[in-house]
Structure formats: C-alpha cells, structure tokens
Amino acid sequence: MKAVYIMWLREVKRFIRSKSRIMGSLGQPVLFLIALGYGLGPVFEKAGQGNYLEFIAPGIIGMSIIFTAIFNGMQVIWDRQFGFLKETMVAPVSRLSIMFGRTLGGASVASIQGLLVLAIAIVAGFRPVSWFGILPALLIMLLIALLFSALGIAVASKLKDMQGFQLIMNFLVMPLFFLSGALFPLANVPPALLWVARFDPLSYGVDALRYLLIGTGTFPLALDIGVLVGVSALFLALGSHFFSKMEV
C-alpha cells in the first residue's frame, strides 16, 4: 500500500507543478464548451431539445477526463526512455503496486481536470438540476478516469516510442469521444449508431454524468455504473498483466 501511495502522490505532484500542462489541458474543453455551447445553442433550442450548454457540459467534462487519463500512459514511455522507470522497477516493491499507484495517480489528476471543467461550465452558465448531484458525479468522474488511465498504461506497456502511442491513442480517443453521445442525444440516432455507442464505455460515463447533473439519461443509471465498474476492472487486469511483463 505504501508503494501505491508513493506512486499516486508522485503523479499528482507532477501535475500540480506543471502549470503549463494544467492550462493546456483546459484549452480544448473550454473551446468546445463555449464555441459549441453558445454557437449551436439556438439550433438545439429550435429543435425543441432545450438548453444545449446544459446538455453538452457533462459530455465536455467526460472529454477532458478521457484525454487526461488516457495520455497518462505517455508518462510510462517517457520514464522508460529516460531511465526513470528502470530505477522504479528495481525497487523492492511489486510491479502491480507500481502500476496501481500510477493508474490511481492518473485517475486522480484526470478527476481534478474534470472538476475544473465543471467549475468553468458553471461560470459559463451551466446549472445542475441539483447541487447534491455533484458529489456522486465526482465518483463517476473517478470511475471514468480510472478506466481510461488503466487503458492508457496497458497500451503504453506494449510500446516503446511516444509517436506510436500518440497515433494509437488519437485513433482510439476521437472515436470514443464522438460516438459517446457527448455532443448529441443518443435517443433519436439511427439504430446502427446507437449499437456502436453501446460498445463505447465513455457513453455510459457521459450518460451517468448527464443523469446526475441534468436529470436525463439514455440508459439506466445502474447499467451505467455497472459497465464502468466492469470495464475498469477488465482494463486494470489487462494493464496489470502487461505492466508485469514489460521489459525496461
């Protein structure tokens, strides 16, 4: 447990010290929130769908979390290239503890990122249907972050260069985001698109956030939470296996 805590603390401190990383990671979510929220808002309202800013805010929060969490794996490749990972691996602790610590650290950082985007959305005019829903929404943010942080580390454990990791992650992240229903309702989409969205774990994370923050959802909340927990456990198991077999 001590090793897990040390790795978790290291990842959080690394994020807090990097002010440029914090500001840079906020740029894209804020742009999406303002440009789409206000730009497409009148069109969304004329279609009888209500306030688009309120609809899109949970999706943008999910976007900020997945981008930050999944690219946590890049730190593994960075540390491997500069020899820091080798120093960590020779410590008298299990590789599983190191992996869990890094995953929890990346998940914590991504959750903080989601909380910052939520605060910006509130400043921009977003109002949750109930302020009491923010606390369980934070737990959903942590689940989303844990899932994709584990996925990022699992992929990074099989790669040795950052360029390959970036290509694979961009190939994964953008479809996961755009097919999750973050930017459009899934209720009236073609059946084929809805079928694809059902296999996107981010769909359930965004849907759970939307249910807790604005009171509407496509899937039952219990299903959302069940999928997030199940897929998180799967990716943690895969990440643990790949990380334990990784050569440094």
Residues in the chain, total: 248
Q: pLDDT for 196-216, tens place per residue? A: 889 999 999 999 999 999 988
Segment 223-236 mean pLDDT? 92
The predicted pLDDT at position 12 comes to: 65
**Which positions ≥6 away from 174 have C-beta within 8 Å?**
none
Least confident of 69-73, 159-163, 178-182: 159-163
Q: For residue 70, which amino acid is it?
A: I
- CA–CA distances in Å: residue 235 to residues 99, 149, 174, 180, 232: 12, 9, 19, 18, 5
State residue 227's pLDDT score.
94
3-state SS track over 57-89: HHHHHHHHHHHHHHCCHHHHHHHHHCCHHHHHH
Amino acid present at 40: L
Amino acid letter, residue 37: G
pLDDT digits (tens, 9 = 90+) for 29-76: 888 888 787 777 777 766 656 778 888 899 999 988 988 888 777 777
Q: What is the pLDDT of residue 104?
A: 86
Tell me: pLDDT of 150 over 80: yes
Which amino acid would we find at residue 24?
A: G
pLDDT at residue number 35: 79
d(C-alpha 202, C-alpha 41), whole Å: 23
How many other C-beta atoms lie within 10 A of the C-beta of residue 195? Answer: 10
Is residue 141 packed enough to be buried (19+ CB in 10 Å), middle (13-18) or exposed (0-12)?
A: buried
In the predicted model, is pLDDT for residue 194 greater than 60? yes
**DSSP structural state of residue 18:** -
pTM of the model: 0.88
51 HSE (CA, 13 A, CB side): 13
Indicate if the pLDDT at residue 17 is higher than 90.
Answer: no
| pLDDT for position 215 | 87
Q: Token pair for residue 24?
A: 């840079």
How much is the pLDDT for 16? Answer: 59
What is the structure's pLDDT at 202?
A: 92
